Amino acid sequence: MTAIGHSGDALITPEALAALKARIGVEFPTKPWNTVASVDTMRHFAEGIGDSNPLLTNPDYGAASRWGAMIAAPTYLNTFSNASFSAARAGLPGVFALWAGGIWTFERPVVPGDRITATEKLVSVEEKPSRWGGRAIHQVLQTTYRDASGRLVGSRVGRIVRAERPRARKQGKYAEASQKYRYSDAELAAIERDYDAEQVRGAQPRFWEDVSAADALGHVVKGPLTSTDIVTFLMGWGSPLCKAHSVAHQYMRRHPGAAIIDPETNVRDFAEAAHWDEALARRSGVFAGYDIGEQRIAWCSHLLTNWMGDDALLRRLEVRLRRPNFLGDTTWVRGRIADRLVREGEHLVACELWAENQHGERNVDGTAMVWLPSRADGTWPALALRARWGQH
């Protein structure tokens, strides 16, 4: 088969950059991976991040909760916007893209039967120096999610770093990643103990009055990261760049910049494959397969939903991805309470988040805001939101 499409070594030209900037502020529709929330797709997403919380995976358990239904993991909203690149997210064809973080806000959880639509707009385009790829472009995007009545369900402001592959390869910033970490039996046993020790607060309420600044949120462990972990996540999350056979062929014909040529086989593939194909990862200048940015952001929400219990609501989540998380890496996500406050009748807890790998390198910084039930005034987020939104 003759390879069709881009080598993946496109440069950031003035013309391509101007075309991208012309889209700033224009709102575009997105193509959804899911059009309707269902028990199955919600469970697939939760299990794809390694979360077996029954509120997020078991409809009978959810029906008995104060929500009256199984609810979705917070960033499941992603699945209503990421089946293809919107015109806001695209641009600079053939230039490498790396998800650098995002700020999520949530108005209410998604429940089975919800029909969610999303729009996306480009907020800003900034050129910044980079030790990784020389010249880098930061795209800031805002995605807005609404229900069938047009009411806001949640939003995300995300940052994508675009870099030229030839310069990234030359810089060789992550060349050490090509040497995979080998775990001792003792290290693997310790990771398994962390998995076994994971605690889900569940139906036992965590009241606002019972928490204090500097309290630990515990931790969740993710890894050692495998290709299977990434593929399992994609099965629930979806991807604009995971297509097969004739569907892939037609897509690449329409969008040649989506393709990258495997230097070992001369076969085209999607740039998404750099996450698990080491030849394509090296071509992108990261030298080893690596996780998907929204995957690690979802891991942070997993820590929070474990800690806060069934009756709370994650209001805001900000995650900054500080470095790639490579195949073979293990990530421990941790957090602590920074402050307590009351805002518009909501009893909120501000949290600090971070994550480290097996080398002790920090690969995540973040913050979160959680609405907890209050013992003093008898407010329950689940009941308050069901009354505000109507039975859903």
Burial 31-60 (b: 16+ CB within 10 A, else e): ebbbeebebebbbbbbbbbbbebbbbbbbe
Per-residue pLDDT reduced to its tens digit, 284-333: 788 899 999 999 999 999 999 999 999 999 999 999 999 999 999 999 99
Q: How confident is the model at residue 279 (pLDDT cuts 50, 70, 90)?
A: confident
Can you give the residue ranges of every domain in the chain? Answer: 14-389
What pLDDT shows up at residue 131?
Answer: 66
Which residue type occupies 112? Answer: P
Least confident residue range of 98-107, 187-196, 272-281, 329-338: 272-281
Find out whether 332 and 296 touch, Cβ atoms under 8 Å.
Answer: no
Find out whether 162 and 97 touch, Cβ atoms under 8 Å.
Answer: yes
What pLDDT shows up at residue 57?
Answer: 98
What pLDDT shows up at residue 164?
Answer: 82
Beta partners for residue 357, in sequence order: 331
Determine the Cα–Cα distance for residues 150 and 186; give it in Å rounded to an integer.
53
Find out whether 106 and 28 touch, Cβ atoms under 8 Å.
Answer: no
Count other Cβ atoms within 10 Å, centred on residue 213.
Answer: 11
What pLDDT shows up at residue 5?
Answer: 38
Under DSSP, is residue 260 helix (H, G, I), strand (E, B) or coil? strand
Mean pLDDT, all residues of the chain: 92
Q: Which CATH number fits domain 14-389: 3.65.10.10, 3.40.50.180, 3.10.129.10, 3.40.50.300?
A: 3.10.129.10
Per-residue pLDDT reduced to its tens digit, 47-58: 999 999 999 999
What pLDDT shows up at residue 169?
Answer: 75
Which one, of 261, 287, 292, lies nearest residue 275 by Cα?
292
What pLDDT shows up at residue 133?
Answer: 57
| Residue spans of alpha helices (H) in the chain | 14-21, 39-48, 54-57, 59-63, 165-171, 185-197, 227-237, 245-254, 278-283, 293-308, 381-389
What pLDDT shows up at residue 232?
Answer: 97
Task: Answer whether residue 175 shows pLDDT above 80.
Answer: no
Q: How confident is the model at residue 196 (pLDDT cuts 50, 70, 90)?
A: very high
Per-residue pLDDT reduced to its tens digit, 197-250: 999 999 999 999 999 999 999 999 999 999 999 999 999 999 888 999 999 999
Find out whether 349 and 372 touch, Cβ atoms under 8 Å.
Answer: yes
Whole-structure pTM value: 0.94
What pLDDT shows up at residue 103?
Answer: 98
Q: How confident is the model at residue 7 (pLDDT cuts 50, 70, 90)?
A: low
Task: Answer whether residue 278 shows pLDDT above 80.
Answer: yes
More confident of the two residues 180 and 168: 180
Per-residue pLDDT reduced to its tens digit, 117-153: 999 999 999 988 776 656 789 999 999 999 999 999 9
Task: Answer whether residue 251 shows pLDDT above 60.
Answer: yes
Task: Answer whether residue 90 shows pLDDT above 90.
Answer: no
Which residue type occupies 326? Answer: F
- Percent of the chain scored above 90 by pLDDT? 76
Strands, E assignment, the chain: 27-29, 96-106, 117-130, 134-146, 152-163, 216-222, 259-261, 268-270, 313-321, 331-343, 346-357, 362-371
Task: Answer whether residue 172 shows pLDDT above 70.
Answer: no
Which residue type occupies 254? Answer: R
Task: Answer whether residue 370 shows pLDDT above 70.
Answer: yes
What pLDDT shows up at residue 2?
Answer: 29
What pLDDT shows up at residue 96?
Answer: 85
